[in-house]
Amino acid sequence: MAASFRLTLAQLNPTVGALGANADKAHAAWEAARDAGADMLALPEMFLTGYQTQDLVMKPAFVRDAMAHVQALAERCTDGPAIGIGAPEMQGEALHNAWYVLERGRVQAVVRKHHLPNEQVFDEQRLFTPADISGPYRVGPLRIGTPICEDAWFDDVAEAQAESGAGLLLVPNGSPYSRGRFDTRMMHMVARVVETGLPLVYLNLVGGQDDQVFDGASFVLNPGGQMVALLPGFDEALAHLDFHETQEGWRAVPSEMAPMPEDIERDYHAMVTGTRDYLTKSGFSRAVLGLSGGIDSALVATIAADALGPEKVHCLMLPSRFTSAHSLEDAAAVARNLGTRLDEVPITGAQGAVNQALAPLFAGLAEDITEENIQSRLRGLMLMAVSNKLGSLLLTTGNKSEMAVGYATIYGDMNGGFNPIKDLYKTRVFAACRWRNENHRPWMKGPAGVVIAPRVIDKPPSAELREDQRDEDSLPPYSVLDAILQGLVEDDCSVADLVAQGHDRELVKRVEHLLNISEWKRYQAAPGVRLTPRAFGPDRRYPLVNRWRDMS
């Protein structure tokens, strides 16, 4: 009779540092795997500690605690399936990113990561010691090779494990979301399958951690590169997968195939997930934000409502004498459509008091951007006061276009603890609003239907800090600005490259100048959901003082 093997994949959402809670989640998944008759439960990379740990993992007491929790988990799971779980391991002076195989109450094997990523948001080479390639281990009738995340992006680890007798490649991952990332993962994993002739299981984390969101979308490939199982993106899932030994080797039985949405939906889901987990994992249950009547704050309010529920979102309209009647109406309409609380707190009295106090110092000087920034900073002050008093996390609402060129007031509208749209260019803000009005998904806690009034989307953007102000008074049209920023930020184009693409050289130089002189603002900005491989923050690290300019 041909051998068979049942593997339970636990695509789950850990919390960094919550060792006991993460171990409990692993144990609950093990009980479900045991009840399903599984031979093994697999959990993702560094699941026991949560991921990414950053420098926390360099603290010896933390590593000792994590290893003790691994041992305790093994002792809790004596009569049932084996467990594969990611956690750090201290081996002498060497600290490893490891994957433990637990069975019959003890640690039966330890796989250690060989290739340590040192790009984009990863700097594992400063945290961990690279290990020699680990051989396969046996669970029941099956020998399993486990390239840990980055190990599967190169051919040497998988090939060595296949040559040592592995019948299956099981790849635990902590791979954060960015637009188009799934296709890149698939390309590399198909290559490993073609090279080794083995089936491959790609198991990923889900959930938000700081600015990163892990999107799950775990999958299984049979030899030839055929995908036979796909778990949902961004949602926790347990999947019981069967493998049978054939004359050609082990093969996975086709299973659940979750849909793969378009990028615009995956971006939106990432923003909702990242916002929800940043708040809840930080101990907040409610959010507050300034709702101006403009498109950016309307989108942030919608994301917050979908993440937490409308009843947990508090919106404030903070009008000045420059606030138009339609902005008041539009803010009220968005709050009403979403079902969130909206309070109006005028800043005119506070603005008058500040202007009066500064009048002796400003005597004889014309009004300029200083007075505009006072308005923004008064709004930031009041929003932070509400946040402090009511225990809600303040969400800030600046998009990537504004963050790139510094079209934001430090200590004003940049105030806040988290920014859901920080990595979303303005043109994508428009698209996200239209998509959300036309679509509703079960993971959204906000209402279905048109929640962002078309007028909010269609009207010319304005900060409303002076009479008849429009964003395009200070910036080029967003379609042009975003195309230039795409080249400068995402693609590392030179000025000459962008001029060759048809952009005006003077305009490109102006945008480049604004990008360079705004680094100090971005350095102090709130964290926000990462959607691209060039998000401001860990992905793109520039000096604050930088006198070099591209003269091409």
Catalytic positions? 45, 113, 149
Q: Which residues pair with 102 in a beta bridge?
A: 83, 107
How far is 70 from 27, CA to CA, in rounded Å? 11
DSSP-assigned letter for residue 357:
H
Give the tokens for residue 460: 């010319």
Closest CA to 429 of 406, 395, 452: 452
How far is 528 from 523, CA to CA, in rounded Å? 12
Residue type, 248: E
Question: Alpha carbon of 134 to those of 47, 67, 137, 147, 535: distances in Å?
Answer: 19, 19, 9, 8, 34
Q: What is the DSSP string of 502-541?
A: T--HHHHHHHHHHHHHTHHHHHTSPPB---STT-BBTTB-
How far is 182 from 260, CA to CA, in rounded Å? 10
Residue 273 CA, distance from chain mean position: 8
Q: Is 394 helix (H, G, I), strand (E, B) or coil?
A: strand
| Phi, psi angle pair for 104, to nearest 5° | 55, 40
How far is 223 from 192, CA to CA, in rounded Å? 10
DSSP-assigned letter for residue 282:
T
For residues 43 and 116, the answer to whether their CB atoms sit within 8 Å is no
Q: Rounded to 5 degrees, what angle do the CA atoms 527, 312, 379 make?
A: 55
Question: Alpha carbon of 357 to those of 346, 365, 464: distances in Å?
Answer: 19, 15, 23
How far is 396 from 252, CA to CA, in rounded Å? 46
For residues 160 and 153, the answer to whether their CB atoms sit within 8 Å is no
Burial 447-464 (b: 16+ CB within 10 A, else e): eeeebbbeebbebebbbb
Locate tokens 């010319």: which residue?
460
For residues 450 and 425, the answer to whether their CB atoms sit within 8 Å is no
Residue type, 455: R
Burial (CB < 10 A; 0-12, 13-18, 19+), residue 201, is buried
